[in-house]
Amino acid sequence: MINKGAKKMTTYPLLFSPLKLGNKTLRNRMAMVELVTNYAEQQQPTERNANFYAERAKGGVALIVTEGLSVHPTSVPQPHVPAAYLKENIEKFRSIADSVHQHGTILLGQLWHVGRQQLWSPMMSPWGVSALPCPLSNAVPHEMSVEDINEIVESFVLSARNLKEAGFDGVSLHGAHGYLITQFLSPWSNKRRDQYGGSIENRARFVVDIINRIHETCGDDFIVGIKLTVHEYVEGGLDLEESKILIQHIIQHCKVDYIGVSQGNFSFSLEYHVADMHFPPTPFIHLAEEVKKISGNIPVMGMGKITDPETAEKLIVGGSADLIGLGRALISDAEFANKAATNPDNIRECTSCNICWGEIHGGKPLVCMHNPEAGYEKEYGMGTLTRTSLPKKVVVVGGGPAGLEAARIAAARGHHVMLIEKQPELGGQLLQAAKLPGRENLTKTLSFLTRELKRHNVEIRLKEVADEDFIDAIQPDVVIIAAGSTPNLPEFENRSMRVHSFVDSINMEEWGDHVVIFDDDGDIPPYALAEKIATLSKNVTIVTKKPQLAKEANYLSWIGINRRIRSFENITFFTSHKIVQIKSDGIEIQDVFGGQPKYIGCSDVVMVTRNSANNIIYQNLKEKYETYNIGDSYAPRKILAAIHEAHRVARTI
């Protein structure tokens, strides 16, 4: 059955206008861009892959580009990347094509060779354009011979032919972020002296040959697009002006059906590849706008931190892009397109937290911080949240992210839900974290959840303490405890030093001359706090037991944290150190591997330490009522675990 999408409104007329792409016509301008899921098994696409893509097609996007598909045995960046070159995978790819086409969405497979950037390579050496090491793994690749290059060209063609046989409408070539095609195009990575190096014509030869051979084999009606990094942001790498010349050469020598515009490569500029919440909206859209000026009639896809339909519409109106590439926005809300047509305020907007990227970079399956349905479409996707035939009176204690999600799901199922929060505002620690520099986007999660509670008529009681007597007076059928956690400040002998918890520090505006932050968390928030305090105090010192700053942060955000922290002249730091003593006028720290203690004079100490669960109310009620304990009051964890747990539990009631 073709999903024609919800009835369109005129709010975003260009976003919902058709666009010719090769021999196909897209019903709107929204495309799902390629993003790694790690849902494949042993290089084979799975039902989980098919469900993930089908959900986004059902959600209304006109075009889907799959995650990168391996084209050759020398390109296995993760063990969970599907292989397009294997003929035995054709039927599994066909199941993806059928599930996507059922909803009227065009499907392209992204063809991907990683080149020297083979981060997961237990059995072979990576192949590269030149014998230059991968900037991340430092592995030196085998420099490809001309025979090797011809073999890889034909592997792209074989992969395209397999996908065509599986029912795909075309392919997109991954020519971005320092992978093999980029390695040929960029003077930063291509030092060859043969017909594949040096001049624009030579460096473009590889990709031109691939595109022409695919069209020769699969026909001109088979869509062939390309995603290109047009600015590497490294010294000696591709910049916008050279990329425009390259693109003009490519489109003059082969048939390209669309150009996706991206930036960054496998260096510290990888931070720009998936801009996190510290970046403004659409931070690199000017690159697409410039490419559009020289692309003629070829559609240009703009992408990167486009999180709402109003922004998308403005980009098309302003001539920045023809197609809107959505990645994280569709992880956050598979129904983005349909909701944009009928009820934009109902979109669960992406926060750009990059937890999704951190998970896949670590070899784990793709998940979303605030959308538990992502990757679990079979269990939690559209149409699975059925209304109960036995509505119950449900009381949720705690208005943090876990409590809000539990209340949302329970109410959506038809239960009568009351949410009790002791503070004057909803949000819990999420509300506090959103006050930190660069973390303001976290309010998007809070805004979505509070809107949902209103939509489902959840009764909200603020400034109420839900003790045992309070609950007994209500006589609920079900109690969900989401009471959060409390900072667990360590005991110390000297009480004259000003020692603060992380949460208390967020709201402080007056500090002494030297503040020490002890980071026992390792994630982004302590460093956002350090940035804030550095604008209010003369000196800030960060002490962490971890071997590096922000060790637990996703790699992209880790780059940004280090860049920003090191830009402050009044911030110093000690890694692999612990606090051994707090005195009246300073602290003593010691290397975790031993050695003599060091003294740091300071006015304030901020302890970013583990919290303790607020579970007393659960212990008091669990024998009286059907009671569940979720979120930090079950065990202090990250927001992802709290929201996902709340979602699962609330579905069972």
Distance, in Å, from the CA atom of 152 to the CA atom of 146, rounded to the nearest integer, reads 10
Environment class of 154 (CB within 10 Å of its CB; exposed 0-12, middle 13-18, buried 19+): middle
Q: Cα(65)–Cα(171) distance, rounded to whole angstroms?
A: 8
User: Residue 469, exposed/middle/buried by CB under 10 A (0-12, 13-18, 19+)?
Assistant: exposed
Coil vs helix vs strand at 238: coil
Determine phi and psi for 141, rounding to 5 degrees. Answer: -85, 165
Q: Are 440 and 280 in contact (CB under 8 A)?
A: no
What Rg do the C-alpha atoms of the chain give, in angstroms? 26
SS3 label, residue 589: strand
Residue whose token pair is 């098919």: 50
Residue 353 region by backbone torsions, left for phi larger than 0, else alpha for psi between -120 and 50, else beta: alpha
Distance CA 47, CA 640 (A): 24
Contact 400, 429 (CB under 8 A): yes
Q: d(Cα 83, Cα 44) in Å, to the nearest integer?
A: 6
Strands lying side by side in the sheet with 416-421: 459-462, 416-421, 393-397, 478-481, 626-629
Q: Would you say 207 and 185 are in contact if contact means Cβ atoms under 8 Å apart? A: yes
Provide the CA 134 distance to its chain's centre, in angstroms. Answer: 23
Quote the tokens at residue 134.
């991968």
Could you tell me which of 625, 162, 212, 560 has the C-alpha nearest to residue 352?
560
| Separation CA 476–CA 600 (nearest Å) | 54
> Within 10 A of 53 (CB to CB), how many other CB atoms are there?
27
Contact 549, 572 (CB under 8 A): no
Cβ count near 517 (within 10 Å) = 25
What does the block give as tokens for 1?
Answer: 């059955």
End-to-end CA distance of the chain: 32
Task: Indicate if 179 belongs to the active site.
Answer: yes
Closest CA to 229 of 279, 291, 282, 280: 291
Give me the catalytic one of 53, 85, 179, 618: 179
Positions marked catalytic: 179
